[in-house]
Amino acid sequence: MPKRKVLHYDAFSSIANMGNPAGVVLEADDLDEKSMQAIAEKVGFNETVFITSSKKADFRLRYFTPGHEINLCGHATIASMYCLKTLGLLQNKDSITIETNVGNLPISFANRKGDLFITMKQDQPRFIPYHGSISALADSMGLPEETIDISKPIVYGSTGTWTLLIPIKGLDPFARMCPNNEMFPEVLRENPRSSIHPFCIETMDRNAFMHARHFSSPYSGTKEDAITGTASGVMGAYYLTYLNENSEAADFFVEQGQEIGRDGRVHVQVIRNESKMDVYISGTGVFVQEFEVQYP
């Protein structure tokens, strides 16, 4: 069987084995979709990103869970851009454009207090109301129904990847969450391939504004995402859409991963632009290791 070199980077943390792990495969033009999927399955991370050439942008990125391809992944983008920049593969550029399945997106690089931070723009936010059972939704997370904060909207949100945003009453329920991912397609009837993203506006870190966990669709082949870039970005758009409709911008940090020992931070910035919102997320990364996988 052929072998492929995979670079393991952790995104949204500068400490190895914190944040969110991603597999990065460089110079992947020779790989077809079937091979990419097989490699991602062997790697086993929530996402593996394949960097190929592009006629429309500086690079094309394709993202695969162990189960299927997804259109956009925040943490794998941050990881792969950190990889390219620190390996000197960007000719000292401070900004580039990447081609993704949701279109071309700008990427910029900056140093913050000695750490390299990558900023990516996400797709325009979209929301769909959730009309399913609140009781069944709570049960799918292993929680009593009263822990869900129904004073705030429960909605599917996307800035490139769909997730169900579920407001929770405070931090305490997060440590007790025990998801039954196999229930999700039946509970999420409007969007059965969606993940779910419980969050609250109470944090462990006083410098963060929102706390969250992220439970994967059963079709993805994983259970939980440690710290989620696309969902963090759409939480910023959620905040301006439903919680602070009069504000022109949002700028805050999201914390995630503490319950599973993968503490990380996402910097979220959202700016109203007439009838649209421009959504940006930023984070750093760290190289962990290089390994090879065999694939059919």
Angle at 108 between CA 103 and CA 111, to 5 degrees: 155
- Are 98 and 109 spatial neighbours (Cβ–Cβ below 8 Å)? no
Name residues whose C-beta falls within 8 Å of residue 296's C-beta, 6 or more positions apart in sequence: 1, 38
Surface-to-core class of residue 62, CB atoms within 10 Å of its CB (0-12 exposed, 13-18 middle, 19+ buried): buried
- Are 157 and 228 spatial neighbours (Cβ–Cβ below 8 Å)? no
Give the chain's largest Cα–Cα span. 58
- The reply to whether 292 belongs to the active site is no
CA dihedral 111, 62, 97, 77 (to 10 degrees): -20
Angle at 137 between CA 242 and CA 154, to 5 degrees: 5
Surface-to-core class of residue 47, CB atoms within 10 Å of its CB (0-12 exposed, 13-18 middle, 19+ buried): buried
Active-site annotation holder among 47, 99, 224, 255: 47
- As a whole number of angstroms, the distance between CA 241 and CA 12 comes to 25
Catalytic residues: 47
